[in-house]
Structure 1
Amino acid sequence: MRDKTTPVAAPLVTGLCLAALTVTGLPAAVATASAPADQAPRTWRVGPDRALTTPSEAAAVAGDGDRVLIDAGTYVGDVAVWTQDDLTLRGDGGRAHLQAGGNNAQGKAIWVVAGDRTRVDRIELSGATVPDGNGAGIRQEGDDLTVTRSWFHHNQNGILTGAAPDSDVVVRRSRFFRNGAGDGYTHHLYVGAVRSLTVTGSWLWGADVGHELKSRAARNTIVGNRISDRDGTASYSVDLPNGGRSLVAGNVVVQGPRSENSTLVSYGAEGLTHRSRQLWVVHNTFVNRRPTGTFVSLAAGSRAHLRNNLLVGPGDLTTLAGAEARGNRRVGAGGFVRPGADDFRLRAGSPAIDRAVRVPRRWRPRWEYAHPTRQVRRRAVGRPDLGAHERR
């Protein structure tokens, strides 16, 4: 599958207050440019009843290390470029909803994040579309991005990052739904060739043709999430096209009946270009609601370890003959709490209880998903259970 990773830049939308523009109509103390390097970080407050009424106005005045607290509410048509380093962007009093409303920054996204070490918390971004079809809620161009408690929906891409070999991307307790342009090139979460990606405690569902999660990172840690097509047409649930040192553990992964690809997890489909070809797929609950499928597709040369996974529905465990596979078990839907609602916690008497084989400590899932978008410590009493959840 081809991907458009470097969209052609379109002209900046006019009439918007972006980081490169000067704020007008504000008190002098507020409209001053970013603070000198020796000045302590500032906190900027944004809201309809404040001096800074939109996030783009804060983008024009904030400095490195500052905090931007955005009042909960909906901001329609406001887009921004953030160039500062060590910046915190946080919804205050609830999620701040940035609704594109037909606008975009630099032909790329609602927010273009060009600074390094940015933290985004309790932000909702929706409706990002651009002429080349590769628009994103967040387009990450700097190094290091941490996103927590945030929502991305009805965008062409949820989050899209470029290639940055020294960058670490972390997503925790966030939701991605109804993203994708329906062309197969756009995804909920599309991470380029960065150093590492970590996704935990998050809920990804209903991608439009594209993948629920796609990562070209050299290291991937995907632990304790719910990844479900539901009624969507997503392709792969998890796509790691270039390999890399990867852990896929403690996830509930549900392939829906309308999925356009019968594989749930794909590793190395576009060539094992990373130095490490090691993949651990452990303690997941995989559900296939198509008539056929493959739970884990592996490129030749993969060093894969598949242990303690529960398989629900038809399909082959893997495509690679000789892959190390232990403790995986196919079960029916009757041993789960509410499988029709994607709740695959174990019922008493499940054949998955106390059946796990040994997994090296460094590859065990430390967390399990708690709906919605939370994570709890996974603690086994005696021998661990199979699948994504310990019976409590």
Structure 2
Amino acid sequence: MRRLVVLALLVLPVLPLGAPSAQAAPRTWHVGPSRALTTPSAAAAVARDGDTVLIDAGTYAGDVATWTQDDLTLRGAGGRAHLAADGQSAQGKAIWVIAGDRTTVDRIEFSGAAVPDQNGAGIRLEGDGLTVSRSSFHDNQEGILTGALPDSDVVIRRSRFVGNGAGDGYSHNLYVGAVRSLSVTGSLFAGAVVGHELKSRAARTTIVGNLFDDGTATASYSIDLPNGGRSLVAGNVIVQGPASENPALIAYGEEGLTGSNQLWVVHNTFVNRRDSGTFVRLTDGAHARLRNNLLVGPGDLTDGAASSRGDRRVGLDGFRDPAHDDFRLRPDSPAVDRGVRVPPRWRPRWEYAAPAGLRRRPLVGRPDLGAYELR
């Protein structure tokens, strides 16, 4: 036995002294005006797969970058790092073009992206997998824009998308192409310029515990799911403004159904401030399950094939402060204890908490209608 061990040791390769290991350990890079790397683009030039880039809070005007590495974490340090496009773009596309896979972006602010093609984005995603948290996208032609990436999962948490859009109707606060999945929670979508607040072509779309509010902007749909897909819209406050250029709040399948056709719209608070509209617009061949939604303002619940249970039209007097988008229930609200049972997999487990956050939705006895459970 001892002889076999010695022979095995003799055939092992011997690395020369000082030779690099097969895979270097991940590194952390610090970026800021007083650092060796003064801009995020400088870090993009030296980072390797798996590295973390910490960007000091402050404004980085005109600094744009392309990130090609996989498994990167890009995070604001000591506050939010603001990337103001200031007339610049990476590859004529975005402030950041992310071509690597499985990228995490945290506490970064993107503003002012504009390109001749009218789709300048805060982030253009070209790799598989993106997680964005605690970040802000405002006054860009697109907030985030992705291509058709069938193996990509996009996750948005606790972020803000405000005033994005080029005004052409083809650019939006958030535009996710044909990816594998999109999940959006605890986020604010407001004031899209002509385009939609959120547009998703994902095979699976999950939108839970968010606030959508057009304000006085000319936004179109609050949520557009143009190719259908397996979709859950639950626990959201969705407010269509009086200047909205399209009377529907949610649209499903308007550009042709592809793949799965399954839509659950559950425990949302819908508010229509136009003089007419449709809360859930469905294309021919689509079918939706609508449960425990509150409807405020004029308009039809749906114009297509749907089963509806527990959906109820109410006035504004049952909410705490609707003028300031506080649609939590008052104790005397007719929505209290009026909900029907919803299968656990389609129930919202989160509620939106202003300005961009989440809190657990309690489950005690019979559920309340709408986006909030009375506490």
What band does the TM-score fall into relative to the shorter chain? over 0.9
Whether 2:29 is the aligned partner of 1:44: answer yes
Change in 2 beyond 3 A, CA 1:37/1:261: farther
Separation in structure 2 between the aligned mates of residue 213 and residue 244 of structure 1, nearest angstrom: 15
Q: Secondary structure at the match of 1:260?
A: coil
Q: Provide structure 1 residue ranges, at least 5 long, that are not aligned to the other structure.
A: 1-34
Residue 377 (structure 1) aligned to one of 360, 372, 375? 360
Kindly provide the amino acid, as one letter, of the partner of residue 193 in structure 1: A
Shift in Å at residue 45 of structure 1? Answer: 0.2
Tell me the equivalent position of 1:72: 57
Which position in structure 1 is the counterpart of 2:14? none
**What is the rounded CA distance, in whole Å, between the counterparts of 1:131 and 1:68 in structure 2?**
30
CA shift in 2, pair 1:382/1:107, >3 Å: same
User: Residue 321 of structure 2 corresponds to which residue in structure 1?
Assistant: 338
Query: Does structure 1 residue 198 correspond to structure 2 residue 183?
Result: yes
Give the match for residue 347 of structure 2: 364
Measure the CA separation in 1 of the matches of 2:21 and 2:198: 40
Equivalent position amino acid for 1:357 in 2: V
| Matched residues, number | 356
Aligned match of 1:284 in 241, 260, 268?
268
TM-score if structure 1 supplies the norm length? Answer: 0.90
The within-5 A match list for 1:242-257 is: 242-257=227-242
Aligned to 2:38: 53
Cα gap change, 1:230 to 1:37, in 2 (>3 Å)? farther
How far apart are the structure 1 equivalents of 2:228 and 2:200? 9
Q: Structure 1 residues 37 and 195 mapped into 2: Cα distance closer, same or farther (>3 Å)? A: farther
CA distance in 2, matches of 1:323, 1:174: 31
Deviation at 1:303, TM superposition (A): 2.6
After superposing on structure 2, the runs of 4+ consecutive aligned residues of structure 1 that deviate more than 2 Å are none
The one-letter amino acid paired with 2:183 is T
Task: Confirm whether residue 300 of structure 1 aligns to residue 284 of structure 2.
Answer: yes
C-alpha displacement of 1:137: 0.2
In 2, Cα distance between the equivalents of 1:337 and 1:314? Answer: 21
Aligned match for 2:143, one of 158, 172, 189: 158
- 1:216-235 matches, cutoff 5 A: 216-235=201-220
Residue 226 of structure 2: aligned partner = 241
Contiguous gaps of at least 5 residues in structure 2: 1-19
Larger radius of gyration between Structure 1 and Structure 2: 2
> Structure 2 length normalisation: TM-score?
0.94
1:380 deviates by: 2.3
Give the C-alpha shift of residue 37 in structure 1.
5.4
Offset, 1:381: 1.9
Q: CA RMSD for the aligned pairs? A: 0.9
Find the aligned partners of 2:322 and 2:92 in 1 and give their Cα distance. 41
CA distance in 2, matches of 1:350, 1:339: 13
CA distance in 2, matches of 1:302, 1:283: 20
Identity %: 75
